Structure 1
Amino acid sequence: MASFDFVAEYRGLQPTAEREVVTARNNSVQKLQAEAGNIGRLLDIAYFAYRLPIPAESDANPWFGEILRADDATFSIDLDVEEAARIATLVLRQRLYDNLPVTPVIVHAASFAGKRQTVDNHALSLASRQTLANLVRRRGTSVGRPEVTSGKAAALSELIKKLSDENDDTQDFQVIESAVQDYRSQIKQVVTTANKAIETAWNESRRLAEEVDLLWWHLGGYSFSLDRPLAELPAALQPIAIGMDLGEMINASPGPYGTYGIIRKALGKAADEKFKLGDALKELTAEFGGLISKPVTRYALAPIHGAVGDVLLEGTPVVGAQFKRRTGLGVDVKLTGYELALQAYHERMLSKLGWI
């Protein structure tokens, strides 16, 4: 498969860019890709791609700007906001091209059901959707039969002959020591391959268990987070509860593909009904405290969890102006029930895996 062509993609966004600038940006992107292996840095890159408000305590601006300035002394993280967004967008696009499982979930959360737009006119979000579909469809189908193997043990007679050829005064203990070392290497080989086989079987069993749990959850129509039937919840709150419940069941990114169908089925007709986020938040009272147990560290990437945490953990109402400053979104942004549940699901997955 051909590699991601950054130069072609960048020139598609900046067709008039001079050769020196393209070269500098290409060099910077290679450094950013290396940094993106750190989940915190990867989340920072999503902030730049979607032009999210950077928290005052974050070091995102310094480290990101320093990398760009190393290859272009004229770059300014404060003035070149759109350029930073282009670079960050292409970094994420390349990771999607490489089918890295963490990236699409982050992109889905950052896009907030398409209400946030990247400089490539939603191309990043569309690529993320396709990558996610490819990853989850392949999950489980590429698992081969795990095997435990051992290396070929050296024959004792060969060890004796080898030692005799090397040293006429070969002692018995040398033969025994060589035999022991040889068999130790065989044991190490068996243990290594056994652990790999166990890990493969464990991961596949966990995947299947997740899917079974999702199906039983759907059949039950019951929120385990709130310990009550979903039908008893206020209509505007049901999508959030459904998304959070399902996200809590997932232990590995990107999760089973069937989750999306289960979300739609669980919502029924409400899947296509429009809801204001503010209306859902108004329904939050202490009785729904089971929805969230810890605040998020990335409020802009998880607006639903951030707002729910404000109300249920901090006991403070969500103020529209403050919410806008922290997320770039209006508190009365409208989403379908399906979009609202999907956003809550992706946010909860990021939280469950300890990324936000």
Structure 2
Amino acid sequence: MSAFNFVTEYRDLQPLADREIISARDKAFTKAKAEANKQISRVADLAHFAYRLPLPADSDANEWYGNILGADDTTFSIQHDLEEAARIATLVLRDRLSSNFHGTPVLVHAAAFSGKRATVDDRRLSIASRDALKSLVRLRGFVPRRPDISPGKVSPIGALITKYDTEGEDTTDIQVFQAIAQDYDNQIKQVAKTANEAIETVFNENRRLAEEVDLLWWHLGGHSYLLDAPLAEVPDALKPIVIGMDVGEMVTALPGPYGSFGIIRKALGSMADEPIKLSDAVKSVTPEHGFLISKKPTRYALAPVHSAAFDLLSGETVSGAQFKRNTGLPFDTKLTAYELAVHVYHERLLSKLDWI
């Protein structure tokens, strides 16, 4: 895959931008990318800007991101130049997608909300996240080579011993022993390093396989993991939410096993492609479904289903106006049962792993 070229991509979005602006934006892109590499919360902030989502009340995103964009352009204002902020955030996220960061495609896919939210690059970010996600979940199930443990490389201690034997005055016995001890230490570290790498490879593969087996048994059993009730007894409007949450709860690492999407579709059966109103699905959550959610995500806009359902379970009223204010989405947005279940699955993954 060729390296991401910010200048080329930015000029595609802003063909009339002058050289000074392009240079300033290139510097801002580099700084924002570095910040995103440091903290997961910065990646989530960039998703908010890219999809122009409402930020959490306690967020410092406007401050840190505004400072970066204004550092080399004193005329920039985060309040007045939201479209420009969205462009840079979009390109930083696309760069991360091209670099195969395991969590970014899931986050971006969730932010896109099954394609219902648009970006300034005519949905190219959403398409890139979908393609990256397909590639990564397949790659997660592929071990390219057998992990090896290397014994390390032996240092030329013999030459030092020979020198000590023939030129004892210049080489002390302490130097020889120190060299032997250092060589032994280096080899032990090399063995430990490659052993740990091999163990991690095997552990990750075993974990993936265990997740897939769990999902298969869950599907065959037809029993909700979170509700401890048969899926056949779950109301149709609620099934996509329950199935998405169940599958997400059984997965432990991003981007998840490549079989999860097929399991979700199979679990939904004939209703997988049926359209459903988001409001109907969310409002089907009642107090008897309290075991579905144990905590509210910190980012309402990136986890609208979990957040709204948590509000309902807490006794709050969720109105269309309130939902639109918190998420930027109409509460009556229509999507297929499969699209909703996959989105909820990604919400669950991101929430349980403290991404949102």
Q: Normalization by structure 1: what TM-score?
A: 0.94
Q: Distance in 1 between matches of 2:118 and 2:156?
A: 67
CA apart distance, 1:282: 2.3
CA apart distance, 1:326: 0.8
Tell me, yes or no, if the aligned pair for 2:55 and 2:299 is still in contact at 8 Å.
no
Query: Who is 1:68 aligned against?
Result: 69
CA gap of 1:165–1:78, structure 2 versus 1, over 3 A, is: farther
Q: Distance in 1 between matches of 2:36 and 2:253?
A: 19
Query: Who is 1:3 aligned against?
Result: 3
Query: Who is 1:260 aligned against?
Result: 261
Q: Distance in 1 between matches of 2:52 and 2:158?
A: 70
Query: Who is 1:353 aligned against?
Result: 353
CA gap of 1:317–1:194, structure 2 versus 1, over 3 A, is: same
Q: What is the one-letter code of the residue matched to 1:2?
A: S
CA apart distance, 1:191: 1.4
What do residues 264-316 of structure 1 show as CA deviations (whole Å, max 9, x unaligned)?
Answer: 1111121111111221222222221111111110111000010111122x221
Query: Who is 1:323 aligned against?
Result: 323
Does 2:345 correspond to 1:336?
no
Query: Who is 1:246 aligned against?
Result: 247
Larger displacement relative to structure 2 (340-349 or 117-126)? 117-126
Tell me, yes or no, if the aligned pair for 2:141 and 2:257 is still in contact at 8 Å.
no
Q: What is the one-letter code of the residue matched to 1:33?
A: K
Query: Who is 2:270 aligned against?
Result: 269
Q: What is the one-letter code of the residue matched to 1:189?
A: Q
Q: Distance in 2 between matches of 1:209 and 1:18?
A: 54
1:355 partner SS = coil
Q: Distance in 1 between matches of 2:44 and 2:231?
A: 32
Report matched runs for 1:103-252 at 5 Å: 103-153=104-154, 158-164=159-165, 167-168=168-169, 175-252=176-253
1:2 partner SS = coil
1:96 partner SS = helix
Q: Distance in 2 between matches of 1:152 and 1:83?
A: 53
Tell me, yes or no, if the aligned pair for 1:159 and 1:179 is still in contact at 8 Å.
no
Tell me, yes or no, if the aligned pair for 1:96 and 1:104 is still in contact at 8 Å.
yes
CA gap of 1:179–1:19, structure 2 versus 1, over 3 A, is: closer
Query: Who is 2:49 aligned against?
Result: 48
CA gap of 1:152–1:112, structure 2 versus 1, over 3 A, is: closer
Larger displacement relative to structure 2 (343-352 or 183-192)? 183-192
CA apart distance, 1:249: 1.6
Larger displacement relative to structure 2 (177-186 or 68-77)? 177-186
1:335 partner SS = strand
CA apart distance, 1:158: 4.3
Q: What is the one-letter code of the residue matched to 1:354?
A: D
Does 2:9 correspond to 1:13?
no
Q: Distance in 1 between matches of 2:141 and 2:9?
A: 32
CA apart distance, 1:86: 1.2
Identity of aligned residues (%): 62
CA apart distance, 1:177: 4.6
1:275 partner SS = strand
Q: What is the one-letter code of the residue matched to 2:242?
A: A
1:57 partner SS = coil
Larger displacement relative to structure 2 (341-350 or 163-172)? 163-172
Q: Distance in 1 between matches of 2:79 and 2:173?
A: 75
Larger displacement relative to structure 2 (236-245 or 122-131)? 122-131
Report matched runs for 1:90-109 at 5 Å: 90-109=91-110
Q: What is the one-letter code of the residue matched to 2:268?
A: L
Tell me, yes or no, if the aligned pair for 2:157 and 2:179 is still in contact at 8 Å.
no
Q: Distance in 2 between matches of 1:44 and 1:154?
A: 49
Query: Who is 2:26 aligned against?
Result: 26
CA gap of 1:174–1:66, structure 2 versus 1, over 3 A, is: closer
